[in-house]
Amino acid sequence: MMPSWMNRRLVSLLAAILLVLLLILFLQLSDLLLSVWQKLQMLPPWFVYSYGGVFALILAGSGWLLWRITREPPPPPVRLPPPVLPLKEEEITSRIERNVTLGVDVEVARRELAEMQARRAGGEFHVAIAGDISSGKSTLINALLPDARPESGPVGGITRQVTRYLWHTPAGDRIILSDLPGLNEVGIPLQQEAREEAIRAHVVLFLCEGDLTRPQLHELNLLAQLSKPLLVGINKVDRLSGDELAMVVERVKERVALLTAPMIRVVTLVAGGQKERLRLLPDGQEIREVVAQPPQLVELVKAMQGWIDQDPALLESLRDSAVFSWVAHKLDESLLHHRRQKADEVVGDYSRQAVLAAMAAVAPGLDVLLQGYLGVRMVRELCQVYEVPFQEISASELLKKTDQQALRSLPMLLAIGGNLLKAFPGVGTMAGGALHAVAYGLIFDTLGRAVIKTLENRGDLLTHPAMRYFEEELSENLDARMGRLIKVLLEAGAEKLMTGKGKG
Ligand SMILES: Nc1nc2c(ncn2[C@@H]2O[C@H](COP(=O)(O)OP(=O)(O)OP(=O)(O)O)[C@@H](O)[C@H]2O)c(=O)[nH]1
Ligand SMILES: [Mg+2]
């Protein structure tokens, strides 16, 4: 290896040669300039001015080129992809009308659309500030709007409801900032409220401190699925050293890159808070004091403003799509709830009729009940509730198979029913046929539940899944269901006994 003094000499020698070369270049250049200047003096003024103009142009061009090459590269343009399969407003309106004709509650959907219209008319951009409790959401609002004074503090769970604040950006846009309850807040309704506000916003800002935890990633994933601009703000970076900050930013970016949202950016910020510092008193004594931490929001504000400036119409349409998808989901939920209620009524009614028919018949046969009038009617009515075309062939195949399956389970049902019946006062007088009647009612109830599940899950009356559900449902909640049917029987039986027509 070469000793270091040799290295130093070599470098000094090279520097000296370079300097001499520069000196020669300078002498040559000045010689050239002087000779050009002398020649120019002999030429007419118009030539001198034109020559000077061209010279100045070339000099300015070179300067501009040099500035272009050396200046900081501009940030890459934000690419905003189009929304994924957006639902149109007309589709939502026609779904609402359809639900109204079916008698389904559409209040939530209407309220949500009205809120969206009001926001459109207002013309503001809406930014929902989400994040865990104590991530600094309210502190951030305080930093942007010192007069707003939302409550904030070191004890988590301070913000308990969605609160909105109007903020004018430095560029003059009006933004409604929604301060949300923490997403890990205890209580589902609060979380639900926060998520719904995120759906209504143009941009969601998710605040975190340091690397993302598993639950935070889960939340972010849900927010990413809203397909709208998602800003991940790493807050409280005043608490991190330079190396720690670089590491955290890298980790968060890695994790966020796995999310499916079309527009995501990671920024760092200091929302505020407090810091400790040492103060020197005039007597030379040092004291520790707590002072306010100055906010650092430049990166955050720039990112938000960037999205707004880039394509405000796109932000609007992404927000609309998210609201429409959510309203459609709410409409589906209400429709399902409505259908389930109706279907339960149908099944309850037919199970009751099955019990009574079995009691009334001299020699009641399960096949007569199931495959006859009652069974077919119940399946047909359930298909009507779910707006699934009723096919006689599938229905009779299903009823035949149910009959066979039910006959196999009948001894078990009779045994359980027998035990249960003993517990009911006044049952002894009609225990004979009653046991069978209750078992038949239960089979109707099970068949009805299996058909509901099939229609809900498969959208069609398919025998195979229906039979599987039938098996699953048969022993489900047996005591309570039998108890209900025994009561039906008792009410009917007591009436007959009173009128002297009881079977005994
Ligand atoms: N050092 C520091 N502290 C901060 C910063 N931002 C917020 N804090 C502190 O973090 C604590 C929680 O802040 P909040 O603004 O109440 O948090 P929040 O997210 O609104 O909390 P909840 O309303 O409970 O969900 C407070 O003590 C703040 O002073 C920051 O950038 N740096
Ligand atoms: Mg708060």
Distance 135 CA to ligand 1 centre (A): 5
Share the mean pLDDT of the chain: 85
Q: pLDDT > 90: what percent of the chain? A: 46
Residues of the chain falling short of pLDDT 50: 78-83, 497-504
Domain ranges for the chain, please list them: 16-70, 104-310, 331-498
- What amino acid is encoded at 358 in this protein? A
Residue 424 φ then ψ, to 5°: -95, 130
Atom 24 of ligand 1: nearest residue by CA position: 157
Distance CA 298, CA 233 (A): 12
Q: What pLDDT is recorded for position 385?
A: 95
Q: What pLDDT is recorded for position 383?
A: 96
Map tokens 């079309």 to a residue: 262
Closest-approaching ligand to the CA atom of 206:
1
Of 152, 158, 296, which is best to mutate to test ligand 1, by the most ligand atoms within 8 angstroms of its C-beta?
Answer: 152
Distance 156 CA to ligand 1 centre (A): 9
Question: Which CATH code fits 104-310?
Answer: 3.40.50.300
Of 139, 216, 236, 245, which is best to mutate to test ligand 1, by the most ligand atoms within 8 angstroms of its C-beta?
Answer: 139
Residue 368 tokens read as 């007569």
Of 134, 144, 191, 276, which is best to mutate to test ligand 1, by the most ligand atoms within 8 angstroms of its C-beta?
Answer: 134
Distance 251 CA to ligand 2 centre (A): 26
C-alpha of 482 from chain center = 42
CB atoms within 10 A of CB 205: 26
- In the chain, % helix, strand, coil (3-state, to 5) comes to 65, 10, 25
Closest-approaching ligand to the CA atom of 182:
1
Please tell me what DSSP assigns to residue 78: P
Q: What is the DSSP string of 425-491?
A: TT-GGGHHHHHHHHHHHHHHHHHHHHHHHHHHHHSS--HHHHHHHHHHHHTTTHHHHHHHHHHHHHH
Ligand 1 atom, smallest distance to 154 CA = 27
Q: What pLDDT is recorded for position 260?
A: 80
Q: What is the dihedral of CA 189, 191, 192, 196, to 10 degrees?
A: 140
Q: What pLDDT is recorded for position 478?
A: 85
Ligand 1 atom, smallest distance to 275 CA = 1
Please list the alpha-helical segments (H only) found in 42-136. Answer: 45-70, 89-101, 107-122
Closest-approaching ligand to the CA atom of 207:
1
Atom 13 of ligand 1: nearest residue by CA position: 136
Distance 159 CA to ligand 2 centre (A): 4
Distance CA 29, CA 18 (A): 16
Distance 179 CA to ligand 1 centre (A): 12
Nearest Cα to 162, choosing from 143, 144, 145, 183? 183
Ligand 1 atom, smallest distance to 135 CA = 19
Nearest Cα to 464, choosing from 388, 375, 390, 398? 398
Map tokens 């130093």 to a residue: 8
Q: What is the dihedral of CA 56, 62, 63, 69, to 10 degrees?
A: 170
Distance 194 CA to ligand 2 centre (A): 12
Ligand 1 atom, smallest distance to 235 CA = 31
Are 233 and 269 a contacting pair, CB within 8 Å? yes
Atom 28 of ligand 1: nearest residue by CA position: 273
Distance 96 CA to ligand 1 centre (A): 42
Residue 334 tokens read as 């209400």
Distance 142 CA to ligand 1 centre (A): 10
Burial of 57: CB neighbours in 10 Å, binned 0-12, 13-18, 19+: exposed
Strand segments, DSSP code E, in 366-499 are none
Q: What pLDDT is recorded for position 489?
A: 78
Distance 119 CA to ligand 1 centre (A): 29
For residue range 474-498, what is the model confidence (pLDDT) as tens digits?
Answer: 888 888 888 888 888 778 765 554 3
Which residues are near ligand 1 (CB < 6 Å)? 131, 133-139, 152-154, 156-159, 181-182, 235-236, 238-239, 270-274, 293
C-alpha of 99 from chain center = 25
Closest-approaching ligand to the CA atom of 137:
1
Distance CA 59, CA 67 (A): 12
β-pair partners for 73: none
Please list the alpha-helical segments (H only) found in 361-391. Answer: 366-371, 373-385
Positive or negative: CA dihedral 58, 59, 62, 67: negative
Q: Which residues contact 415 (CB under 8 A, 6 or more apart)?
A: none
Ligand 1 atom, smallest distance to 141 CA = 15
Closest-approaching ligand to the CA atom of 131:
1
Distance CA 166, CA 217 (A): 29
Atom 8 of ligand 1: nearest residue by CA position: 273
Closest-approaching ligand to the CA atom of 142:
1
C-alpha of 41 from chain center = 78
Distance 190 CA to ligand 2 centre (A): 13
Distance 181 CA to ligand 1 centre (A): 12
Distance CA 410, CA 69 (A): 88
Residue 327 tokens read as 């309203």
Residue 163 φ then ψ, to 5°: -125, 135
